Amino acid sequence: MTSDKLKTPTVALGTWAWGDSGETGDGYFGSPLTQPGLEEVADKAHAAGFPMWDTAVVYGMGRSETVLGEVLKRYARSDYQLSTKFTPQAAGASDDPVADMLQQSLARLGTGYIDLYWIHNPADVARWTPHLIPLLKSGKVRHVGVSNHNLSEIELANQILGEAGFRVQAIQNHYSLLYRSSEDAGIMDYCRNHGIPFFAYMVLEQGALTGKYSPENPLPEGSSRAKTYNGMLAQLKALTDKLASIGQSQGAAAPDVATAWAIAKGTTPIIGVTKPNYIDGLVRATSITLTGDDIAELEALADAANVNTRGWWEKEM
Ligand SMILES: NC(=O)c1ccc[n+]([C@@H]2O[C@H](COP(=O)([O-])OP(=O)(O)OC[C@H]3O[C@@H](n4cnc5c(N)ncnc54)[C@H](OP(=O)(O)O)[C@@H]3O)[C@@H](O)[C@H]2O)c1
């Protein structure tokens, strides 16, 4: 038994920031967000043909899923795809914490099924992966993937699902110009060789690679991302300037080029969208052409920045 092939979009839309309260400076991202603003984001994404939304229970402990469900209810369910996650660290104590967490996500998102359901991290691959099988059989979950797993953990998950006639249908890891551990560890080659789509998260390093933030204009004070990135913004200037200059020659901006780089590397970037005009950037990103020299130059500048942007929840690959 196998489920249908996943329809992989060119770009997916991330909603971690939607789990914040929406007040400036508050929460993980500290961006000002309003429901009408997010509805405008969704309308533009819908019009531009970007159907896939990524969320997780732990983004604001249900808040991101609830807000996303509210915003998407103006569209037919067949017009969009939902991607959400089981987070082992937030599991309850029932007989089947995965089924329970999924049920709560379905209720918050106002849907009967999830297009792409992930194990958020490899807390215990042998324990949690088998719980996906009944969910696939029931149709509540159409496709499954694993996130933050290293190569041997991916292979183990694939073996467990394979014994039941299913397989890992997508990988989701941190992958940006500044953080290429999945490439170095052979995970991207594995995906290519096995026809598994690789979803890249934090391609813009939570805003630090957009060129919009600098030591003079840092990330919102009080937010978690400010603590991670504000101290390295000066070192990123040569790279963000180069992203901007490549963009300028094609009528695009620095974040569009960073996104285009991830597409050129064979990934589906998941970009955190907080403002309607960011959707225009994604449209531009899908038509940017990067030469081999552009890519080599960007990667050399990224290496020269000499920063480590590994998230606190991530381990070495
Ligand atoms: N599986 C996992 O463990 C995991 C971990 C992290 C993320 N993710 C997923 O991946 C998604 C993406 O990661 P992320 O949201 O953390 O960070 P990201 O995509 O690297 O950066 C998002 C931030 O960049 C800024 N931005 C986005 N587009 C822009 C544009 N065109 N121009 C200027 N600024 C722009 C926005 O900041 P401002 O609001 O300040 O403008 C936005 O909040 C998440 O939302 C989530 O769905 C998964």
Q: Kindly write down the DSSP assignment for every residue of the chain, as one continuous string.
A: --PPPP---SSEEE-GGGGS-SSTT-TTT-----HHHHHHHHHHHHHHT--EEE--TTTTTTHHHHHHHHHHTTS-GGG-EEEEEE-GGG--SSS-HHHHHHHHHHHHHT-S-EEEEEE-S-S-HHHHGGGHHHHHHHTSEEEEEEES--HHHHHHHHHHHHTTT-----EEEE-BTTB-HHHHTTHHHHHHHHT--EEEE-TTGGGTTSSS--SSSPSPTTSHHHHHHGGGTGGGHHHHHHHHHHHHTTT--HHHHHHHHHHHTT-EEEEE--STHHHHHHHHHTT----HHHHHHHHHHHHHH------TT----
- For the Cβ of 29 lying below 6 angstroms from any atom of ligand 1, the answer is yes
Is 90 exceeded by the pLDDT of residue 24? no
- Specify the pTM: 0.98
Is 70 exceeded by the pLDDT of residue 221? yes
- For the Cβ of 281 lying below 6 angstroms from any atom of ligand 1, the answer is yes
The answer as to whether 167 is a domain residue is: yes
The answer as to whether 139 is a domain residue is: yes
Structure confidence at residue 126 (pLDDT): 98
The answer as to whether 314 is a domain residue is: no
Average pLDDT, the chain: 96
Alpha carbon nearest to ligand 1 atom 42, residue:
272
The answer as to whether 7 is a domain residue is: no
- For the Cβ of 144 lying below 6 angstroms from any atom of ligand 1, the answer is no
CATH code of the domain in which 146 resides = 3.20.20.100
- For the Cβ of 128 lying below 6 angstroms from any atom of ligand 1, the answer is no
- pLDDT tens for each residue of 270-288: 999 999 999 999 999 999 9
The answer as to whether 2 is a domain residue is: no
Candidates 144, 271, 284: which one to mutate for ligand 1, based on the most atoms within 8 Å of Cβ?
Answer: 271
The two tokens of residue 80 are: 């969009």
The answer as to whether 315 is a domain residue is: no
- For the Cβ of 272 lying below 6 angstroms from any atom of ligand 1, the answer is yes
The answer as to whether 316 is a domain residue is: no
- For the Cβ of 237 lying below 6 angstroms from any atom of ligand 1, the answer is no
The answer as to whether 4 is a domain residue is: no
Structure confidence at residue 3 (pLDDT): 60
Structure confidence at residue 246 (pLDDT): 98
- Indicate the pLDDT class of residue 25, thresholds 50, 70 and 90: confident
Domain span at residue 26 reads 12-305
Structure confidence at residue 179 (pLDDT): 98
Q: How many domains does the chain have?
A: 1
